[in-house]
Amino acid sequence: MIPARAQSVGQVQGNTADSTAFAAVIEGQIAAFARDDADAAFALASPDIRRAFMTAERFMQMVRSGFQPVYRPRAYSFGDPAMIEGTPVQPVQVIGPDGRGVVALYRMERQSDGSWRIAGVTLHPTGERGI
């Protein structure tokens, strides 16, 4: 569910390398969650997120309590990235641990070194149930 005013990242930036980088960062964080590696997961969050939570453990507590679908997904797949209100967003279709589907919209932020970090995630239930 991407708003109608969204434009594909490719249309806006002409850079498919960014969408590959988005997927690598998100997959890295999901893998860190699977290992319960708070430090690795926290390192992939944007500086603003890291400042807000101050410690990797506080960050993981928030993820465990409010973001179970991305903390322990049964399955996930990437949609087409888009620019929404000037922010690159990577949609990810997720089947959570309870079998319910959500679309996770990852807001991505480019760092001064050219790398990407996750600047926030919103979960949108799809009403679908997975296997």
pLDDT tens sequence across 34-83: 999 999 999 999 999 999 999 999 999 999 999 999 999 999 999 999 99
Domain membership of residue 120 (yes or no) is yes
CA angle 55, 58, 63 (to 5 degrees): 125
Assess if residue 2 is contained within a domain.
Answer: no
- Confidence class of residue 116 from pLDDT cuts 50, 70 and 90? very high
1 belongs to a structural domain: no
The rounded percent of the chain whose pLDDT value lies above 90 is: 78
Tell me, what's the pLDDT at 26? 98
Cβ atoms 41, 63 nearer than 8 A:
yes
Q: Rounded distance, CA 71 to CA 48, Å?
A: 20
Residue ranges with strand state E in 60-99: 75-78, 82-84, 87-95
Q: Could you tell me the CATH number of the domain that includes residue 110? A: 3.10.450.50
Q: Is 115 helix (H, G, I), strand (E, B) or coil?
A: coil
What is the extent of the structural domain holding 87? 7-129
**CA-CA-CA-CA torsion for 98, 101, 103, 104, nearest 10 degrees?**
10
Residue 11's pLDDT is 45
In the predicted structure, residue 7 carries a pLDDT above the cut 50: no
Q: How many domains does the chain have?
A: 1
pLDDT at 63: 96
Task: Note whether residue 59 is domain-resident.
Answer: yes
